[in-house]
Structure 1
Amino acid sequence: MKPTTRGILATVVTGVAATVGATAPAVAAGTVPVPVPLGGASTALGTEVPRLGAELPLPKPGAPDGPRYVTGRLLPDRTLPRLPVTSGLPGLAARAPLPHLLDEGFDHVDVDSPTGDLRALTPGLSLDAPLTTPGGGGAGLPGAKVPQAAVLPPVLRTAADGEAGMGPGL
């Protein structure tokens, strides 16, 4: 292998390792921080600017409940099972300066909404065939019946939390 090929390969491997290493803490924490850099605008404008930051949750799918076999039905109950997903609500942290109108100085307005738990179940489907199970009478042949179909609705559970306030100083 040529030295240039080795150098390119080492660079690619190093880049991949750095990317994986940078995302590993966010995946372990369950959220990805999203800072909004406004420091340059503060310096350029010569005034105070808001400070913003957010957290985006990472959804984690769970294991679905498999189909259940029920006596008297040809098809299992929950033919298409619901998939549980856990995640969180996005978080927000904002702090904006509030200038005094009659004198110099600033107060602040603060909004803080931390990430909250979010649990969901995707929609599912339950079907039953238009035939009964084979019985002892009628030469062991299944009988006819009305087909059944049911859509299992999605479920969403969460609790949002947040605070808003004002205070002196920055």
Structure 2
Amino acid sequence: MILLDADVLLIDIRFPRDANFAVNQQLLEWLRSEHRAAGIAAQALLEVVGILSFNVSPAKIPALARQVARQYRLTVVPDWKSQPEYAGCRVQDVLDQMTRQMALGDAVQAVQIERFAPQAECLLTWNARHFVGKLVIPVFTPQEWLAQQISPAS
């Protein structure tokens, strides 16, 4: 499974003028066309919902996370059916992650990945510098990852 960070979805949904929009589209299309399993940490999905909540009817917000996950064919980790608590993280684990100089949202996401998706192939984020060397899985920007997948050597 390839994990996506919130920024990949937000660029697609809200920021078509972003400098990375074309590569972002290429990544999402490649994942669809190659039928690759994709996922998202619950923390990252809730970040997307929080940002979208400013332009969505309050009545629609509770269903928004499932709609986004379904639209992008994402597995949410941890699975909310088996782990219905917000983050599934111990406070000490989040604090330990913060010793690597991570903001709260990134630290929670890192702990969720370590606890619930350590077998993931990688995390794709436009903010790779926030995560490189701090996760149990490799981290790439979508551009770096696509270059590896589409290179002539493949």
TM-score over 0.5 for the pair: no
Larger gyration radius, structure 1 or structure 2 = 1
Structure having greater relative contact order (Cα 8 Å, sep ≥ 6): 2
Q: TM-score, normalised by structure 1?
A: 0.17
Q: TM-score, normalised by structure 2?
A: 0.18
